[in-house]
């Protein structure tokens, strides 16, 4: 079947086994192509069991400015909740792996588990002051995933780093306020006290439990 779009002849084949619709003019062809584009996109997102009748009615109601069964705000909230649930389900194995790791780790000698879920083990106990929330500290650290993959390390770079106590992930903020200067602790941080459901960069995926060795060198003035 041939039709014109912006002066170009375009061929569109309709499979005889599928439903047909006339594509004899530009707006019909564009409309059908928008449907193909939307359908292909959502199929790739995993919507292979979508209710096409409900989808069409929602699309038609919005584009024709008809009365909506769900407002645009309610629809956005429904979609956000659905995608959140789907995202979490996708990473169920990662979450369980982290939970199992922390559960086993909690029983190891010297490991302390705090009410927040943060775990730590003292490698070296310092004798200096403990930082406050608004202090700036200087530290050396070595960060890995629970499988030992290194994702960041000031130790490997040979250069410590300075930052505000309240300017880092929650697990660090909590631990630093408990550490006297001169201490070196190993931290085991559940995902909700690390980078959460989004992860960070290419190596820290969503819902990742992290392990850090942190040495508190100084509280900077």
Has 212 been annotated as catalytic?
A: yes
Cα–chain center distance at 133: 26
Q: Which of 91, 120, 191, 212 is catalytic?
A: 212
Half-sphere exposure of 207 (CA within 13 A, CB side): 14
Q: Which of 122, 146, 161, 169 is catalytic?
A: 169
Q: Which of 3, 101, 151, 163 is catalytic?
A: 151
Has 47 been annotated as catalytic?
A: no
CA 98 – CA 90 distance, rounded (Å): 15
Has 27 been annotated as catalytic?
A: no
The phi-psi region of residue 164 (left if phi > 0; otherwise alpha if psi is between -120 and 50; otherwise beta) is beta
Has 56 been annotated as catalytic?
A: no
Reference 120, options 216, 188, 58, 63; nearest CA is 188
Has 141 been annotated as catalytic?
A: yes
Q: Which of 152, 188, 189, 207 is catalytic?
A: 152
Has 191 been annotated as catalytic?
A: no
Q: Which of 91, 191, 195, 207 is catalytic?
A: 195
| Residues annotated as part of the active site | 141, 151-152, 169, 195, 212
């Amino acid at each position: 079947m041939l039709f014109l779009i912006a002066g170009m002849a375009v061929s569109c084949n309709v499979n005889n086994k599928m439903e047909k619709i006339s594509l004899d003019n530009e707006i019909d062809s564009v409309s059908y192509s928008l449907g193909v584009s939307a359908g292909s996109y959502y199929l790739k997102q995993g919507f292979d069991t979508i209710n096409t009748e409900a989808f069409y009615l929602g699309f038609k109601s919005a584009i024709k400015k008809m009365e909506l069964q769900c407002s645009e705000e309610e629809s956005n909230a429904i979609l956000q909740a659905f995608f959140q649930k789907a995202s979490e389900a996708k990473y169920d194995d990662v979450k369980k792996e982290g939970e199992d790791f922390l559960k086993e780790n909690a029983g190891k000698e010297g490991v302390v588990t705090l009410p927040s879920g943060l775990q730590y083990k003292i490698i070296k106990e310092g004798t200096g002051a403990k930082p406050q929330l608004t202090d700036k500290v200087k530290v050396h650290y070595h960060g890995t995933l629970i499988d030992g993959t290194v994702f960041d390390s000031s130790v490997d770079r040979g250069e410590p780093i300075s930052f505000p106590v309240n300017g880092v992930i929650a697990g660090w903020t909590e631990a630093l306020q408990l550490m006297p200067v001169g201490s070196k602790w190993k931290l085991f941080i559940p995902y909700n006290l690390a980078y959460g459901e989004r992860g960070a960069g290419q190596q820290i995926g969503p819902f990742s439990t992290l392990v850090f060795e942190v040495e508190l060198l100084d509280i900077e003035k």
